[in-house]
Amino acid sequence: TAAAAEAEPKKRCLWFEEELEEDLRWVFGVSKILHTGVSEFQDIELVESGPFGKVLILDGKLQSAEADEFVYHESIVHPALLYHSNPKSVFIMGGGEGSTAREALRHRSVEEVVMCDIDEEVVNFCRKHLTVNAEAFRSNRLELVINCARAELENRTEQFDIIIGDLADPVAGGPCYQLYTKSFYEHVLKPRLKDGGILVTQGGPAGILTHTEVYSSIYNTLRQTFKYVVPYAAHVPSYADTWGWIMASDQPIPAISAEETNLRIKQRINGELKFLDGQTLSATHALNKHVRNSLAAERHVYTEETARFIHGHGTASKN
């Protein structure tokens, strides 16, 4: 008996809201809570969102969205591995979601990926629910360690071709900010890089209005620690911002031509990349004038005592 034809459309009633700044909110409709979990460190939620497909949320912050996680994860993994002549071993600090390991494992040269995340619950949650990473989690080239990345690197004697910092942003009260400090880079991380090895870390928001929150400072800190430092960035729609990464090494990271990049992608990586190719890669390196000048002028060095934090509550950590 329902006069359905006259019905107004259903109103969206459940919304995810992330406070990007004190007075800036990013709000999207949620049609379904798929799975929830709680760990010692954070709340975990996988929701079906309107605009971004499945979205992984840690402690109220969007971590990764089905619709565009390929931008972040291709960007954090492939450049360093493509610049390296023959990457065989990869150490991932954090990365519990599994997507970073997934991308690293696509490189045929890679024989070993160590993924070291502090939060076992997040790892188990993602292994179980993120089907896109299921194969990576099952790979016999993956060594999964539940530990603090700092402690793990201090205890290992092994060295790696590539170390990836797929960590939560430095926020007040979070443990991760210690994995962005000069002393950590110098005394803990660098000794674990092989000759010719490259560190790449996520660097937080790198937009016109946000790159001085932490990105420029992490950049400058790496510049104090490594001989060669290469910042790059790309807009990640679900983050409502341009995101930044930084490569660092004591050996040169020479620019390669778009053609050479495309060739290496073809030769080294299984399957098709969606975001990166030669042209895209060089574009991500070309920060705009405003941000580039700002990075060049940055004098802040990230230490335990001088840490800068981005807006957000403080307990989350993927490490």
Which residues have a catalytic role annotated?
166
Binding-site member from 86, 172, 259, 306 for its own copies (CB under 8 A):
172
* Shortest distance, position 203 Cβ to its own copies, whole Å: 16
Nearest to 58 by CA among 12, 126, 5: 126
* Shortest distance, position 228 Cβ to its own copies, whole Å: 18
What gap in Å lies between CA 313 and CA 139, rounded to an integer?
34
DSSP letters for 70-139 = HHHHHHHHHHHHHHSSS--EEEEEE-TTSHHHHHHHTBTT--EEEEEES-HHHHHHHHHH-GGGHHHHH-
Q: Does 33 participate in binding its own copies (rule CB under 8 A)?
A: yes
Stretch that binds its own copies, among 91-99, 180-188, 221-229, 310-318 (CB under 8 A): 310-318
* Residues of span 100-129 touching its own copies by CB under 8 A: none
**Residue for token pair 């001088």:** 306
Binding-site member from 9, 140, 270, 305 for its own copies (CB under 8 A):
9
Q: Does 306 participate in binding its own copies (rule CB under 8 A)?
A: no
Select 16 or 83, whichever has its Cβ closest to its own copies: 16
Q: Does 271 participate in binding its own copies (rule CB under 8 A)?
A: no
* Shortest distance, position 75 Cβ to its own copies, whole Å: 10
Q: What are the φ and ψ backbone dihedral angles of 76, each rounded to 5 degrees? A: -80, -25
Q: Does 50 participate in binding its own copies (rule CB under 8 A)?
A: yes
Binding-site member from 207, 214, 229, 246 for its own copies (CB under 8 A):
207
* Residues of span 67-86 touching its own copies by CB under 8 A: 67-68, 71
CA distances 5 to 2, 8, 9, 71, 102, Å, are 8, 9, 10, 41, 47
Select 2 or 254, whichever has its Cβ closest to its own copies: 2
Q: Output 24-32 pairs: Cβ under 8 A, ≥24 positions apart.
A: 26/62, 26/240, 28/52, 28/55
* Shortest distance, position 277 Cβ to its own copies, whole Å: 4
Binding-site member from 235, 251, 300, 303 for its own copies (CB under 8 A):
235
Q: Does 11 participate in binding its own copies (rule CB under 8 A)?
A: yes
For residue 295, what are its two tokens?
Answer: 């990075």
Q: Does 303 participate in binding its own copies (rule CB under 8 A)?
A: no
**Helix, strand, or coil (residue 61):** strand
What gap in Å lies between CA 65 and CA 54, rounded to an integer?
6
* Shortest distance, position 130 Cβ to its own copies, whole Å: 19
Q: Does 314 participate in binding its own copies (rule CB under 8 A)?
A: yes
Q: Does 227 participate in binding its own copies (rule CB under 8 A)?
A: no
Select 108 or 292, whichever has its Cβ closest to its own copies: 292
At residue 270's C-alpha, the angle toward residues 269 and 274, to 5°, is: 80
Binding-site member from 108, 111, 158, 237 for its own copies (CB under 8 A):
237
Binding-site member from 89, 99, 178, 202 for its own copies (CB under 8 A):
178
Q: Please, which residues bridge with residue 242 across strands?
A: 235
Q: Does 183 participate in binding its own copies (rule CB under 8 A)?
A: no
Q: Does 290 participate in binding its own copies (rule CB under 8 A)?
A: yes
Binding-site member from 111, 128, 143, 173 for its own copies (CB under 8 A):
173
CA distances 247 to 8, 87, 91, 257, Å, are 52, 15, 14, 18
Select 59 or 117, whichever has its Cβ closest to its own copies: 59
Q: Are 244 and 205 in contact (CB under 8 A)?
A: yes
**Helix, strand, or coil (residue 261):** helix
